Structure 1
Amino acid sequence: MVAYTTLGNASLMWLLIAAIMVYFPKSRKAGIMVLFALILGYLLNNEFLKELIERPRPWVDLAGLEPLIHAADPNSFPSGHTCSAFAAAGIICRTLPKKWGLISVIAAVLMGFSRMYVGVHYFSDVLVGAAIGILCSQIIYYLFKAASAKTNLSIDCPSEKI
């Protein structure tokens, strides 16, 4: 779990997946949407809500809890790793074949679980992080869809036309 949760640092795993998607023409536009969803999630989750709420990490409140990793950010709520995971998974589910959607959702759920397992988040942090990630993916998806309709350009994705 420590290794897996570390892949989520700075959204590394999701940025790498988005870069791979951008490389291949069939998933390029979906990869670009993932990048935008990650950016929106970061801004809303990490730069706004975490700073506004300032909820301390679990080990600060729970005596005897020793986290398995060190989290540089002292704020716990909401989970940025989980937000990124669900922002990417939300786009992947809407734009790529179902098998990739299922794999991305499983990866996102595991990321949220790993954050609790290593002791740096509460369940509510993960739940709200997931909700924000899903919201960001939907906002980006519909913005791309609206832009596509307005400009008469199709945004081709393997599973559908946006």
Structure 2
Amino acid sequence: MTLLDIQLFVWLNAVPGTPAWRIALAAAISNWLPALLVLLLAAMAAGRPAWRRTLWAALVSLLIAWVSVRVFREYLPMPRPAALDIGTQWLPQGERPGFPSLHATGAFAVAVMVLRLHFDRWGAAYVVAAALVALSRVFLGLHFPTDIVVGAMLGALIALVVERALVARQWRVLRRAAAPS
């Protein structure tokens, strides 16, 4: 974390005079939007093979994101702002490390997968939702901006790698199907 990271955090973090409705909205975005996005994806997958494929790819990306963040936090434990007495923390978070943000990593892993497999309004909506989730974490005092940026980049990278693996698998299946018996 740098001085710029701390300055950005202080600028984005909600202060005690922030209206309660803004804190409540940010908490709802942080706590509920990630699950709602996955549930929406599951609903769209019902009866639609292309969306079913997206759901499974997003879930694989989410699992890899979770494991990756756990590894980062184990070997590079960076404190959260509250542990350094910086800013105001609006939700209980405990003493666990905050780098990178699991919310940002997971949200962007799912969003970038949806964007890559459905380059349309749904993909754009998922990326905007992921950005809202990520920003809410800084606003609520739970992460530094660097935690969010690295989490978003890690999530996007995971989605791209999973998507490339899916494409490679499809090519292998198609080649086997086209091969003479």
Q: Matches of residues 1-162 of structure 1 in structure 2 within 5 Å?
A: 1-7=26-32, 12-25=35-48, 26-45=50-69, 47-63=70-86, 65-72=87-94, 74-152=96-174
Bigger radius of gyration: 2
How does the TM-score come out when normalised to structure 2?
0.76
Provide, for residues 100-121 of structure 1, a one-character-per-residue CA deviation record: whole Å limited to 9, x for no partner: 1110111011111000000000
Tell me, which stretches of 5 or more residues in structure 1 are unaligned?
Answer: 154-162
Output the CA distance in 2 between the equivalents of 1:17 and 1:40: 20
Work out whether residues 44 and 51 of structure 2, in 8 Å CA contact, stay in contact via their aligned partners in 1: yes
Q: Percent identity?
A: 25
Provide, for residues 109-150 of structure 1, a one-character-per-residue CA deviation record: whole Å limited to 9, x for no partner: 111100000000000000000000001100110111011110
Give the aligned residue type for 1:6: N
The number of residue pairs the alignment matches comes to 149
| 1:14 shift after superposition | 4.0
Partner SS for 1:121: coil
Tell me, which stretches of 5 or more residues in structure 2 are unaligned?
Answer: 1-25, 176-181
Give the aligned residue type for 1:31: L
